[in-house]
Amino acid sequence: MPCIEVEGLTHVYFPGIPLETVALRDIELTVYDGEFIALAGAAGSGKSTLAQHLNGLLLPTAGCVRVLGRDITDKEYRQQLWRQVGLVFQFPERQIFSPTVFEDIAFGPRNMGWDSITVNKRVKETLALVGLPEEIQDEDPRTLSGGMLRRVAICGVLAMRPQVLIMDEPGAGLEPAARQLILTSIKEIQSQQGITVILITHHLEDAAVFADRVAVLHQGELLSVGKTGEVLSQTRILHKAGLKAPFAVELAQRLNELGIKLPTMPLTVEEAARLLYGLIKTTGAGSGGVQ
Amino acid sequence: MPGQSNLLIELQSVSYAYPGSQFPVLQDICLCVGRAEFISVIGPNGSGKSTLARIISGLLLPTGGRVLVDGMDTGTPKTRKDIRRRVGLVLQNPDNQLVAAVVEEDVAFGPENLCLPSAEVRRRVEDALNAVGLSQVRGRPPHMLSGGEKQRLAIAGLLALCPLCVVLDEPTSMLDPVGRQEVLQVLRHLSDSGTAVILITHHMDEAAGADRVWVLGKGGVLADDEPAAVFSRVKLLHELGLTSTSAGDLAYRLSERGLELPTGIVIMEDMIKYLCRVLK
Ligand SMILES: Nc1ncnc2c1ncn2[C@@H]1O[C@H](COP(=O)(O)OP(=O)(O)OP(=O)(O)O)[C@@H](O)[C@H]1O
Ligand SMILES: Nc1ncnc2c1ncn2[C@@H]1O[C@H](COP(=O)(O)OP(=O)(O)OP(=O)(O)O)[C@@H](O)[C@H]1O
Ligand SMILES: [Mg+2]
Ligand SMILES: [Mg+2]
């Protein structure tokens, strides 16, 4: 079942004046119910612009976007959209105004109309999901470090339990352990509760571990979309888009040029370790692989 | 004695506690930065990296110890202006730093404040915009830039000041790999031509490109060493919620499986050399 259907979407900022920028051009993309899709592309390729169409913050200049079967230009529907579609902004710090961390995270859940017991419960749950201690609830967000504040902003969206979760560079500014924890938590929610996740990232190592499919934007156009393994091994396309293949893919290709062939293409460092270990243990088996 | 020794910045037993908090964020820190040295700073969220950046650039004064920049104490009110001239800082969130209504004016803001002749200001703006690849959007309002473009703009503003030391707080967190590499090249070039660079990052492969790495954690400096040494200490890094570089991580995973690898494999080239040796 399609969850999001983007048809012929074009978005132009400031049409008709000298500042005119075509940020998206004729995008066709279907995101299916319950999948984890990564949206990658260089700076300025249109990722954030696309994301903001998916929760109705921006409207198409041309083309159409349907979310959960309904057109986002329907004004009534658009006003309800935030209940189903959660968006973690690229600079979520800007969305933080409350005097305490608790108030900030509770804002969305309260708007959902949930009672205070439920709201408290959601706040606690999500703090654990992003690896923040419960005591942080009472602190003033302005005294938190950059990475802590980001985690609070991610909590604010997760606490509403959106059916569709869009995250714009959620890993930026996070220590490696927190980044891993948060994406792992979200992957678990996705596979257990069947939510749909759209992860916007430059960091294809994260896509390699977590995404079912990857879509690549380049200068406002959709350059490639497909299974994670397929897209991430097309290094030429990735380079054209200003991206870099994950370390494991690059290493495998360099080794291949040197005549060392791995039996399959590793996408993650762990896979590379497994394959290389096997190869080293049976040295001499360095030929006849698929590539 | 400004301009004399090879030592540019010195932190002498520096401690810092935010007003109203009895727990110091940084405690008894001793660090040095040489002229033209390229240092990267890593550490978990909340370990005090941004605080340290503000202390080094004189925006915050240590609550204990002292900071010397080019021989001048940042705590002396008289020297504040001289220190601003010598140390430039790019903040973690570029939005907090963009001041003007148009991209090129934003870059010109710093050098104009230094009261340079206007031809010199124009030249510096030109060079800085070219260096970060933003010449094409020079006429745009900064808030109409994408996230990564804003980060480059903040860096251009810093370059135009031509300081002796640049401190950058996660300047590449929103950049794509190509943009990231470009910024690193700009920084490497700066350091080669005599400017000290202090780069805060959560990206370990990036940190490994520096001459030296500081690891912050538990209120102090837990390591101050060459990248190959720091990124071989995988247990320490994991304890802190950090990782090694990609190549270092692979080396670690291979050694966990029982292989004996030489130490100090932290970049792809070293890994390839090792693999060629054992597999050919
Ligand atoms: N509010 C705006 N007004 C005008 N132009 C904009 C605006 N926001 C973005 N743009 C332009 O639209 C294009 C796409 O920007 P967008 O923010 O969608 O890119 P992105 O892929 O999210 O980039 P990044 O990775 O740097 O965040 C860029 O050329 C950008 O300069
Ligand atoms: N204005 C402030 N008032 C009080 N405490 C603060 C303030 N700014 C930061 N802190 C606290 O100081 C500690 C260090 O923060 P700092 O921002 O230096 O960390 P960081 O290493 O830069 O982290 P990150 O990787 O998340 O950016 C944190 O515990 C933070 O909550
Ligand atoms: Mg963006
Ligand atoms: Mg910080």
Q: Is B135 on the interface with A (CB under 8 A)?
A: no
The partner residues of A256 in beta bridges, in order of sequence, read none
* Alpha-carbon dihedral angle through residues A44, A45, A47, A53, given to the nearest 10 degrees: 100
pLDDT value at B268 more than 90: yes
Average confidence (pLDDT) over B74-86: 89
What's the CATH number of domain A2-243, 3.40.309.10, 3.90.1010.10, 3.40.50.300, 3.30.420.60? 3.40.50.300
Render pLDDT for A210-233 as a digit per residue (tens, 0 to 9). 999 999 999 999 999 999 999 999
- Return the CATH class of domain B7-244: alpha beta
Strand ranges, E, within chain A: 2-13, 21-32, 36-41, 62-67, 70-71, 85-88, 164-168, 196-200, 213-218, 221-227
CA dihedral A197, A199, A204, A209 (to 10 degrees): -30
Q: For chain A, what is the mean pLDDT?
A: 92
Please work out whether the CB of residue B45 comes within 6 Å of at least one atom of ligand 2. Answer: yes
A44 vs B contacts (CB less than 8 Å):
146, 148-149
pLDDT surpasses 70 at B43: yes
Does A287 have pLDDT greater than 50?
A: no
Q: Please name the member of B46, B205, B268 whose beta carbon is closest to the beta carbon of A147.
A: B46
Note the pLDDT tens digit of each residue in A1-51: 899 999 999 999 988 888 789 999 999 999 999 999 999 999 889 999 999
Residue B76: other Cβ atoms inside 10 A: 12
* CB of A17 less than 8 A from some CB of B: no
Complex prediction ipTM:
0.90
What local confidence, expressed as pLDDT, does residue A67 receive?
Answer: 95
Q: How far is the CA of B254 from the centre of ligand 4 (A)?
A: 32
For residue A290, is pLDDT > 50? Answer: no
Query: Which residue does chain A place closest to B270, by CA atoms?
Result: A251
Parse chain A into domains and list their residue ranges.
2-243, 246-291
Nearest ligand 2 atom, CA B44:
25
